[in-house]
Each structure stands twice: as C-alpha cells, then as structure tokens.
Amino acid sequence: MTDIRQVVHELLAQLGSSREARQYLKEFSSTNQARFAMVKVGGGILLDHLDELTSALAFLHRLGLIPVVLHGAGPQLDQALAEAGIETQRHDGLRVTTEAVMSVARPLMYKENLRLVEALENRGIRARSIQHGVFQCAFLDRDRFGLVGEVEKVDLDAVESAVRGGAVPVLTCLGESPSGQVLNINADIATRELVWKLRPHKVIFLSPTGGLLDRQGRIISAVSLTNDYQALMQQPWVHSGMRLKLQQINEMLQNLPDDTSVSITSAAQLTRELFTYRGAGTLVRKGEAITVQRSPDSETLAGVIRLVEQSFGRTLRNDWFEQLVKPLVLSSESGRAAAIITHGIDGLPYLDKFIVTPEAQGEGLGAAVWQVVRARFPSLYWRSRNTNPITPWYFQQADSSNRCGQWVVFTLGIDDALQRERCMADALAHDSGWVAK
Ligand code: ARG
C-alpha cells in the first residue's frame, strides 16, 4: 500500500496536475484488470527505445495497471534477412513468408520477445513471455503468401492467466495452424484480432513519431471519426501509411464500445498521454455527433445551461435563453461541449457562448464543435475575458482581435474595418445573462 501511494505521488509530481491524473487512474483502475489497455509496440521501438518503453510499462505496472503488450519485429527481420541473403517479397503489403524466411523470423521473434520480457524483469516487474497458443490460424493463401496466417480464433487463456498472476503478458505476432505449423501474422492484423477479442478500454500504438502528423509535421492531437474521418481521408497530405492506419483504426473502433479510444504516442510520452486531459500524442475516438438546433428540446437546453453555469461558476437568469435573438444551439451528444450563436449587429452571427469541459477538450470535442460553427458561419464575432484559459486559442482561430480592458473581441471573416468596429462596440456592450453577483 505504501508502495502504491509512493508511485501515485511520483506520477502526480511528474505531471503537474493531480486532479487529472487521479481521475484517469480511477477510470483505468475501474475496468476489469486484463482490459485496461492493449499496447502495440512496433519492432523499431524495441530497437531504439527499449529503455523508455520498459520504464513506461513498469510505471503502469507499479500503479496496478497491467497492459497487454504485442510486439512486432519488422525492421529486425528486414535486417536479418538481408544479412542472410534471403530476398523477401510482399504482396498487398503482406510479407511472403517462405520456409527460408520463417527459419529466420521465428527465432528472431522469440529473441525480441525475450529481450522485452527481460528488460521488464530487470526493472523488477513481472512479465510473461507468450509466444504460442493465442492466435489460432488458417493459411491465408499458402501458394501466394507461404507461411502467413489468417487469424481464426483468439484464445485469451494465457493472457488472462498472466494478468491474474500480476505479470505483463508479452505477445509476438506468431500463430499456429491446427496441426501446429507456426505462421507469421501481419502485426496490424494481429493487433486488430486481439483487440476485438480482448475489448480493452484503451488501445495504444507506440510509434517513433509519437502520433499522426498534420501537413506541417505537427502531431494531430485528436481525431473524431464521426466528425473528421471523411475529411481527413480526402486530404492530399495524408500519405499512404497514415491513410492505412486511419482506415484500420476506424474499422477496429466500429466494432467496439463507444468509450474505447485509441492513442498513438511515443514510449517516452505514454504516461503523459494516459494521465492528462490534453495528452501527448493522437487520440482517436468514434467521437460524438454534434447536433444543431434552432429550438432545442428542454433536455438539451437544461444540459447546456448546466454546462455553462458549471464551467463559469455562475448562475444564469431564468429568462436568459428567451432573451437571446434567434439563438442556434450546437451541442455534442454527451453534453460536454456546446456553442450558442445569436444574431448580432448588422445581422452578423455572434458567438454568445462556447463551452467545453477540460476532459472533452483533450478528446477534441471543442474542435469538433468549432468546426461545425465554422462550416455554418463564414463570418463571426465574439468576446472573451483576458483571463479565460481559452483566450489564447481564440487568438489562433480569429483573424482580428482587439483588447479592451478585461475583454478581447475577436472577429473572423469580417473584412470591413468599420463593421469590425461596430462588432467590437456591440460585443463589449453585450449582456452575458448572469444573475448579478
Ligand atoms: N488521458 C486521456 C486518455 O488517455 C486523454 C488523452 C488525450 N490525448 C490526446 N492526444 N488528445 O484517454
């Protein structure tokens, strides 16, 4: 007990915010122990980032969280085959596994697996090497691919037994045919099949880039499949590797409960990704639909009022909503993000309220609502207090900003300078609808 308290302490000290860390620790600990997370580790990570990896996994273990680990060994295999002078072919992106390839691949997989298990144990963490008995396979197409398996059944006995014993299960991407022939399984397919069977709360992909990258090479913080998938897949800068990854994640999540999420991050950032709202990497979720209502039903309205009051810590007047001029209410399904747009000066849309809980921000829900706002309203103006934590973000979104005392007034898509001034005056005179303090 003292030990876990000490580790939690360390965690909080590392991350700065104890509230966030505690919330996620509670969330992750409340799932069935074997279903906290599945971590897919690319072979490259075992080569170049073994230390960061084992340190992050050991940390989770000490918090009482046992991730199920599946690793590949792609780069190692490429190198070993090249050294052995064995040519490899690929069809449809899958490695053709001849007997010669398998004779190199199998011992290599075992070796990499043991290297990870030993590195974990050297940190005082129990780990169990699971090299067989999980993936029952048929030959995918023996003539075309050789010893490549198509997963027919996933058996979790070995995984669950390891977790019950307090050991981190470490799996390879090898399976067997019913007669015991060892078959090679593509790592992404093995991941998908394991995830569908295990149904973990989180699926984590560790990659050296630490996330999916946007056009400028920056990490995309969150992707909502509901809101972003179609548009992302159409972007010319989404290269084939990322396209494939997104497609696979989309397919994977469609068969899982709505609160399952995928995080793509690096070994070094894993703890931060898991225990903060903002994370450090790319979070992919099915996401929530954003509804747009002219006259919101009473339930939606009550939810929005609660959200506004809670996040500002103030009370709205009873007649607040009725007093708004032609309000349009946007809200996310879970009620954790909302925006209200009214008719302002010159009939221009005025963003009266925009509220997102901190946790939902990390999931990209604020950005999702914002996208819907932007798509509907090419021009817009609003105000925000200097001290509001969202103000710096508004500076990035707006194309004009004007400070006045405690307020900043922002406009978007309003080109006429005089009109911008009228917007500014109007925004500053605006009544927020609070009950007087
Ligand atoms: N800690 C939370 C989780 O792991 C949220 C992470 C948010 N991450 C992000 N890249 N936006 O589920």
**Distance, CA of 171 to CA of 110 (rounded, Å):** 10
Q: Are residues 141 and 203 in the same domain?
A: yes
What confidence score (pLDDT) does residue 33 get?
87
pLDDT for 294 equals 93
Per-residue pLDDT, 242: 87
Please choose, from the candidates 268, 327, 269, the residue with its C-alpha nearest in 3D space to the C-alpha of residue 301. 327
CA of 28 to the centre of ligand 1 (A): 12
> What's the confidence (pLDDT) of residue 120?
97
The answer on 116 and 238 residing in a single domain is yes
20 lines ligand 1 (CB under 6 A): no
Do 328 and 275 lie in one domain? The reply is: no
Q: Is residue 319 part of a domain?
A: yes
Alpha carbon 109 to its chain centroid, in Å, reads 28
The reply to whether 256 and 346 lie within a common domain is no
Domain annotation covers residue 434: no
Same domain, yes or no, for 216 and 350? Answer: no
**Domain contains 436:** no
Residue 252 lies in a domain: yes
In a domain? residue 435: no
Q: What pLDDT was estimated at residue 177? A: 97
Q: Is the CB of 279 under 6 A from ligand 1?
A: yes
- Residues 16, 98, single domain; the answer is yes
Are 301 and 257 contained in the same domain? no
Distance CA 336, CA 93 (A): 41
- Last residue within a domain, chosen from 233, 264, 285: 285
Same-domain status, 295 and 213: no
- What's this model's pTM, rounded to 2 decimal places? 0.86
* Domain extent at residue 106: 4-285
Residue 71, phi then psi, degrees to nearest 5: -125, 155
| CA–CA distance, 19 with 358 (Å, rounded to integer) | 11
Looking at 269, 285, 301, the residue that finishes a domain is 285
Is 32 part of any domain? yes
CA atoms lying within 13 Å on the CB side of residue 127:
26
The answer to whether residue 93 is domain-embedded is yes
The Cα 197–Cα 205 span in angstroms is 17
**Looking at residue 341, which CATH number applies to its domain?**
3.40.630.30
Provide the number of structural domains found in the chain.
2
The minimum-distance atom of ligand 1 relative to the CA of 280 is 10
Q: How many CB atoms are closer than 10 A to CB 419?
A: 16
DSSP 239: -
Q: CB of 225 within 8 A of CB of 212?
A: no
Q: Is 263 in the pocket of ligand 1 (CB under 6 A)?
A: yes
Distance 274 CA to ligand 1 centre (A): 6
Domain assignment present for 170: yes
262 in contact with ligand 1, CB cutoff 6 A:
no
- In a mutational test of the pocket of ligand 1, which residue from 273, 277, 336 has the highest number of ligand atoms less than 8 Å from its CB? 273
Name residue 90's beta-bridge partners.
95
User: What span, in angstroms and rounded, lies between the C-alpha atoms of 403 and 377?
Assistant: 23
- Which of 243, 260, 285 is the endpoint of a domain? 285
Q: Assess whether the C-beta atom of 274 lies below 6 angstroms from ligand 1.
A: yes
For residue 409, how many other CB atoms are within 10 A of its CB?
23
Coil, strand or helix at 43: helix
Q: What is the largest CA-CA distance in the chain?
A: 80
In angstroms, the CA 355 to CA 365 distance is 10
The CA angle 128-130-135, to the nearest 5 degrees, is: 150
Q: What does each of the 437 residues of the chain score in pLDDT, given as a tens digit?
A: 457 777 777 777 777 677 788 889 999 999 888 899 999 999 999 999 999 999 999 999 989 999 999 999 999 999 999 999 998 888 887 889 999 999 999 999 999 999 999 999 999 999 999 999 999 999 999 999 999 999 999 999 999 999 999 999 999 999 999 999 999 999 999 999 999 999 999 999 999 899 999 999 999 999 999 988 999 999 999 887 888 899 999 999 999 999 999 999 999 999 999 999 889 999 999 988 899 999 899 999 999 999 999 999 999 999 999 999 999 999 999 999 999 999 999 999 999 999 999 889 888 899 899 989 998 999 999 999 999 999 999 999 999 999 999 999 999 999 999 999 999 999 999 999 999 87
Closest CA to 111 of 99, 100, 119: 119
Judge if the beta carbon of residue 204 lies within 6 A of ligand 1: no
Distance CA 306, CA 121 (A): 49
> Is residue 356 a contact partner of residue 336, using CB atoms and an 8 Å limit?
yes
Helices (H), 199-235: 225-234
Q: Are residues 178 and 88 in the same domain?
A: yes
d(CA 275, CA 362): 11
Q: Is residue 276 in contact with ligand 1, taking CB distance under 6 Å?
A: yes
Q: Does 136 share its domain with 201?
A: yes
Q: Are residues 205 and 174 in the same domain?
A: yes
Residue entry with tokens 């898509």: 413
Ligand 1 centroid, distance to 11 Cα (angstroms): 16
Residue of 168, 185, 240 whose CA lies nearest to 73: 185
CATH at residue 106? 3.40.1160.10
Q: Which residues contact 85 (CB under 8 A, 6 or more apart)?
A: none
Residue 2 has a pLDDT of 52
124: three-class secondary structure by DSSP: coil
- Are 301 and 267 within one domain? no
Question: Measured in angstroms, how far is the CA atom of residue 10 from the centroid of ligand 1?
Answer: 20
- Quote the ligand 1 centre to 277 CA distance (angstroms): 6
